[in-house]
Chain A
């Protein structure tokens, strides 16, 4: 009896749809993480600037993303900006824009923290060797900062993966939305459908996020020996 219930929920068609939804989730998350990481390094460098103006503007940008919930950001861009400019943007694109901007802000702060935690004499001995600004950062400071920021960066990445579940509210059909659709269709035949589907979603999120944790542990082990 039980196994027949499960097979009614997990038809091959439903599984394919869930995988499709998972792909949307992964696409939004990983493209945003990639953009946020690269732009975040630049933003982090700006945050360590000596200019009070640049520092202030960076601080403002970071705080705006920290204080305003991501859901509100999604609404602002998807409904607000599009109607103000009279353009149409796909929900998935809006999600990537908002998540990239958010990722840049938070990653930048992680990079700033890592750079500022480096001992001062690393900068001085680099300069004493004749290294200019860019070479100093490229060969000496950023490689060391990357090691220090790894735990925070992986934490941010998993948070970004999980937060993609909000994008259903701007009409993007990602893995949670697909799951809800399947539950709705099958709940009259199978009362426990939500348990099985959400249980599977649990595992799917784990499958995306776990490799990040493994990667982080591996890199930390490699760099600490």
Chain B
């Protein structure tokens, strides 16, 4: 095994983040290997979403370091526009651009940012749309789609940038319950193909099914990192036990 393969894809060291002098994330240590699926769990306001947003530069960090393939993403001279092409992100809100059709949404990044060949991207886009079952909506506008369809398109849009890692920020949280499954199945499919992912979710069954490791955050600190089987059946910390109890009636 070469040294590059041993190196984690994404490495978070001593990460510290505050808003207006108020600590939001503290002492975060995490290594994510290629092909690994991390699910971040925790109560509302624990910093899960902020953690994801720090990873692609939407939020500045006040301390520590984030490394992608060993290269630091801290400091002023970091070109986030370039890094974001390697880190795809899908948000909770339906974030398609309403002024563009499905295919225009998908092609925007690859063509205008990555300057790739249009026909090649179009082929990739069609293949991905077909895989998420939405090839027939290629020319639809976002307003003509259901919430679940929009999120599947948003996933395809991020995938078309050929990212090395995907971040999912509560992508099913605003969805009608009936539509949650269709989106989660797409993510599960990605996991099976070996996509590296960090997922923030409140869907516990899904977390257990998809995760290689669960990261449990509370009040801005990592309380526990465990394999899903272990985390859900025998959590080590009191805080995690309390948290899991909320989800059982």
Q: Which residues of A are at the interface with B, using a C-beta cutoff of 8 A?
A: 119, 121-122, 124-132, 135, 139-140, 143-144, 147
Residues in B with CB closer than 8 Å to A126 are 97
Known: A119-B93, A144-B99. A132 touches B84 (CB 8 A): no
Of the candidates A125, A127, A128, A140, the one having the most CB atoms from chain B within 10 angstroms of its own CB is A128
Q: Which residues of A contact B72 (CB under 8 A)?
A: none
Taking CB as reference atom, which chain A residue is nearest B114? A130
**A124 CB contacts on chain B under 8 angstroms:** 58, 91, 95
Report the 7 A-B pairs with minimum CB-CB distance, sorted nearest first.
A125-B95, A129-B109, A128-B89, A130-B113, A130-B84, A121-B93, A143-B99
A131 CA to B85 CA, complexed, in Å = 9
**Residues from chain B with Cβ under 8 Å of A127 in the complex:** 58, 80, 84
User: CB < 8 Å: which of B93, B99, B161 contacts A129?
Assistant: B161
Known pairs A121-B91, A121-B93, A124-B91; A129 contacts B84 (CB<8 A) = yes
The reply to whether A140 and B82 form a contact with Cβ atoms under 8 Å apart is no
Q: In the bound complex, do residue A130 and residue B81 qualify as a contact, i.e. CB atoms below 8 Å apart?
A: yes
Chain B residues near A147 (CB-CB < 8 A): 99
Whether the Cβ atoms of A122 and B58 lie closer than 8 Å is: no
CB-CB under 8 A for A129 and B157, given A122-B97, A144-B99: yes
| Contact B113–A135 (Cβ < 8 Å) | yes
20 more A-B contacts (CB under 8 A) besides A121-B93, A128-B58, A144-B98? A121-B91, A124-B58, A125-B91, A125-B96, A126-B97, A128-B56, A129-B113, A129-B158, A129-B161, A130-B84, A130-B113, A131-B81, A131-B112, A131-B113, A132-B81, A132-B113, A135-B113, A139-B100, A139-B108, A144-B97
Are B97 and A130 neighbours in the complex by a CB distance under 8 Å? no
Minimal beta-carbon separation of A135 from chain B (angstroms):
6
Q: Report whether A139 and B95 are in contact in the complex, using a CB–CB cutoff of 8 Å.
A: no
In Å, the complex CA distance between A144 and B108 comes to 15
* Distance from A119 Cβ to chain B, minimum over Cβ atoms (Å): 7
Q: List 23 A-B contacts (CB under 8 A).
A: A119-B93, A121-B91, A121-B93, A124-B58, A125-B89, A125-B96, A125-B154, A127-B80, A128-B56, A128-B58, A128-B84, A128-B88, A128-B158, A129-B108, A129-B109, A129-B157, A130-B85, A130-B109, A131-B112, A135-B113, A139-B97, A139-B112, A144-B99
Contact B95 A122 (CB under 8 A): yes
